[in-house]
Amino acid sequence: MPALSTPSATITALRQRVDRAGASHEALVTEVLERARAPEAAHVFTKLYDATALAAARAADEARRGATPPASQPLAGLPVSVKDLFDVAGETTLAGSIVRRGAPPAAADAPAVQRLRAAGAAIVGKTNMTEFAFSGVGINPHYGTPCNPAATAVDGTARVPGGSSSGAAVSVALGLAVAGLGSDTGGSIRIPAALCGLVGFKNTQARTPLAGAYPLAHSLDTVCAMTRSVADCLLVDGVLAGAPLQVARRDGVRGLRLAVPRTLMLDALEPPVARAFERALARLAAAGAVVEEIPLAELAEIASINAPGGFSPVEAYATHRETFATRRADYDPRVAARVALGEKVLAADYIVMQRRRADWIERVRARLAGFDALACPTVPIVAPPIDALVRRPPPDEAASDEAFFKANGLLLRNTFAINFLDGCSFSLPCHEPGEWPVGLMLSAPGGYDAALAGVALAVEGLLGGGG
C-alpha cells in the first residue's frame, strides 16, 4: 500500500486518501509515528506521543464506523504537531532550552492544545524550536536543527528551516502533520512557512489565547499555525480561536487592490525571491487585480521606535530576569545576547516605545485604508545553508555570529513589521516546482482577518501551491 501521509496532502486530500485506501486513522498515525523516527525527521520532534495519538486515531475510526465524524471534530484522527512552547499537562515545557529542565510540570494543557484535542486531533508530538523562540533562523544548539526538506531538495545542501517554529514547519513539510501549532512574535510561523513552501497564517493577536504558551514578548506574541493550504489554515484557526472566521469567498482576484510598499520590504531581495515575487504580481495584474506601489514611509520608523532596546528584548528580559542572573551560561549565547539588550532599558523609555508604537499603528492603518491587502515577499532571501550559520569556536566565532545575525535580521525584517502593526498576515508559496521556496506575504491591519482570508483564498487559487 502506498504511504498514506504524503508531504503534499491537505486535510481534505488526506481524508480522501485514507477513505480510498480503505485504511484507518490508526494506520495513518502509526505510519506517521514510524516516519517521525526516521533519519529524515532528525531533530524535528523533541517528544512523541504514541499512546495518546493512537487513542485519538482509534476514537476517530470508531466514530467513522458509526457515522460521519461530528462537525465539532474537524481534525478527527489526523496528525497534528505542537511546538514545544505550549504546556502539555504533566510535563515541563522546555521552550527549546536546557535552562527549563527541572522546571515544574504544567498543571494543565494550554488552551490551544485543549482545543486541538477537542477537535479530535491526534497530537503526534512536540516539535523543536529556536531557544525561547528568539530567532527567525531555526538553529538550536541544544537539541539540533531540523533540515529544510523543500530547500534541501533544490541543491542537496542542508539548509535552515526558518524559525522559531522550525520543527513545526518540517513536520508539515514531511507529511508528519497536517498542521503545526506554533507562535509568531516577529514571523515565527510565516518565516518557516515561506522557507519550507507552506502556508502560514498569523492572525490578529487577540483572536487566539496566549495562556499556556511560554512568552517571548507579550506585546507581540501570537498563537497560530501552518499547514498546506489556506483552507487548512482557516480550519485550524477556527479551532484555536473557538469560532471560525466568517469568510466571504471571492470569485477570482479581479478588482482586488494590493499595495506594494517601496520602503524597506523590497530591499536586498535575492534574485530567486525577486523573480518569484515579480512573477506573482504580474499574474495577479493580468487576472485583473490592481497592484499599486506606495511609499509607506512609516516602515522606516520601526527601527527608531525600537531603538531603546526593542519590545522583544525588554519583555523577554522581564520573563528571564531571575534565571538569567544565575544561569546565563546555559543559554544559547546568541539568544542570551538578545535578552541582555533589555536589561538596561528604563521604564520611561519602554512607555515611550509603547506610545510611539500606538501612534504608528494608527498612521499605518490610515495609509492602508482602501486596499484589500499589503503584498510583499515574506522574506527577502532563500533558506541559507545550516553550516554557514551555526556558531563556530574561535577564531571563527565572530564571523559565524556576524553571518547569523545578518541572516536573522533579513529573515525577520518584513514579517516583524506586521507584528508591530498588530496585523494579520498570510504567507503563500509563490515559487514554481523545482525552484527555491519563496513566500508571498499578504497582510492587513488587526481585525481584518476574515477579509484577508478571502483575499488569500483567491490569490492561492490563481497562484497554485508553489510546487
- Check 183, 188, 219, 443 and give the catalytic one: 188
Q: Which three cell numbers stand for residue 2?
A: 502506498
Provide φ and ψ at 376, rounded to 5°. -160, 170
Side-chain-facing half-sphere of 185: CA atoms under 13 Å: 25
Q: pLDDT value at position 285?
A: 98
C-alpha torsion angle, residues 307, 335, 183, 75 (rounded to 10): 170
Output the CA angle 359-187-169, nearest 5 degrees.
160
Average pLDDT score over residue span 189-202 = 98
Bond preceding residue 192 cis, omega within 30 of 0: no
Q: Which among 5, 24, 83, 183 is annotated as catalytic?
A: 83
CATH number at residue 25: 3.90.1300.10
Distance between CA atoms of residues 58 and 156, nearest Å:
38
Asked whether residue 29 is assigned to any structural domain, the reply reads yes
Task: Give, for 261, the enclosing helix (H) or strand (E).
Answer: strand 257-261
Strand-pair partners of 123: 80
- Region 222-238: mean pLDDT is 98
With a cut of 50, say whether residue 467 has pLDDT above it: no
Q: Note the pLDDT tens digit of each residue in 364-379.
A: 999 999 999 999 999 9
Above 80 in pLDDT, residue 454?
A: yes
Query: Which run of H or E residues covers position 179?
Result: strand 179-183
pLDDT higher than 90, residue 15: no
Return the H-helix or E-strand segment holding 327.
Answer: helix 311-327
Domain presence at residue 420: no
Cβ–Cβ under 8 Å, residues 223 and 256: no
Task: Flag whether 161 is in a domain.
Answer: yes
pTM (2 d.p.) = 0.97
Residue 347 in domain? no
Given CA atoms 165, 167, 171, 174 in this order, what sign does their dihedral have?
positive
The reply to whether 166 belongs to the active site is no
- Over residues 216-245, mean pLDDT: 98
Quote the Cα angle for 134-135-136, to 5°: 140
Please count the structural domains in the chain: 1
Mean pLDDT of the 405-427 span:
98
132 belongs to a structural domain: yes
Residues 249-258: pLDDT tens digits?
999 999 999 9
- C-alpha closest to that of 188 among 227, 137, 235, 152: 137
Q: CA–CA separation, 385 vs 390, rounded Å?
A: 9
126 included as an active-site residue: no
Res 2 pLDDT > 60: no
**CA–CA separation, 455 vs 442, rounded Å?**
8
Report, in angstroms and rounded to the nearest whole number, the Rg of the chain calculated over CA atoms. Answer: 21
Domain presence at residue 85: yes
**Of these residues, 24, 81, 164, 219, which one is catalytic?**
164
* Domain around 77: 11-241
> Residue 23's pLDDT is what?
87
Please indicate whether residue 221 or residue 5 has the higher confidence score (pLDDT).
221
Instruction: Name the DSSP class of 372.
Output: S
pLDDT for residue 8? 79
Is 425 in the active site?
A: no
The answer to the question of residue 428 being in a domain is no
270 is a domain residue: no
pLDDT band, residue 465 (cuts 50/70/90): low
Q: What are 50-87's pLDDT values in tens digits?
A: 999 999 999 999 998 886 656 679 999 999 999 999 99
Task: Annotate 132-175 with DSSP letters as a single string.
Answer: GG--SS---TTT-----HHHHHHHS--B---SSSHHHHHHHHTT
Are 183 and 189 contacting, i.e. CB atoms less than 8 angstroms apart? yes
Question: To the nearest whole percent, how much of the chain has pLDDT over 90?
Answer: 93
Number of H helices, E strands in the chain: 15, 11
CA distance 115 to 112: 5
Lowest mean pLDDT among 57-66, 238-247, 308-317, 359-368: 57-66
Return the pLDDT at 66: 80
**Confidence bin at 1 (pLDDT 50/70/90):** very low
**pLDDT score for 70:** 66
Mean pLDDT over 406-432 rounds to: 98
Where does the pLDDT of residue 98 fall: very low under 50, low under 70, confident under 90, or very high at 90 and above? very high
What are phi and psi for residue 341, nearest 5 degrees?
-60, -25
Query: How high is the pLDDT of residue 18?
Result: 84
